[in-house]
Homo-oligomer: A and B are copies of this chain.
């Protein structure tokens, strides 16, 4: 997994070290798909194809990779059901609940941001 060492040299006073946790978090969670993927799974277990449709334009290769990584980080559990044909689902682990707040904030912000942009478009068109 790798967390970068404690290399940050900050002015002793200040707040400094405060950003290290942010960088730590980003190290695991950043990328185009991880958060949206977890967001998608917040609605309950999903199958591979469901996720693919859900996310809109992710390719199987990438989806597969992202799921594997999320499994390694213990955000996601892969379950195999011995139906015919076999059914496989992905679902969030209890641990991943710790990420849900981030996603909620991101979601809220995304909504506001989109509105803001639309407003700005209007007012600049009016000029």
Q: A8-B56, A109-B98 are in contact. Are A26 and B19 (CB under 8 A)?
A: no
Residues of A within 8 A of B (CB): 1, 3, 7-11, 14-16, 18-26, 28-32, 35-36, 39-40, 42-43, 53-57, 95, 98-99, 101-103, 105-114, 116-117
Chain B residues in 8 Å Cβ range of A53:
9-11
Compute how far the CA of A28 lies from the CA of B30 in the bound complex, rounded to whole angstroms: 13
Q: A3-B114, A16-B54, A105-B105 are in contact. Are A35 and B10 (CB under 8 A)?
A: no
Residue of B nearest to A26 (CB): B35
Chain B residues in 8 Å Cβ range of A103:
22
Considering the complex of A and B, which 4 residue pairs feature the smallest CB-CB distances, nearest first?
Answer: A21-B110, A25-B110, A24-B110, A15-B43
Compute how far the CA of A116 lies from the CA of B26 in the bound complex, rounded to whole angstroms: 16
Compute how far the CA of A117 lies from the CA of B25 in the bound complex, rounded to whole angstroms: 12
- Decide if B24 touches A114 in the complex (CB within 8 Å): yes
Chain B residues in 8 Å Cβ range of A98:
109, 112-113
Give the distance to chain B from A3, nearest Cβ to Cβ, in Å.
6
Give the distance to chain B from A60, nearest Cβ to Cβ, in Å.
17
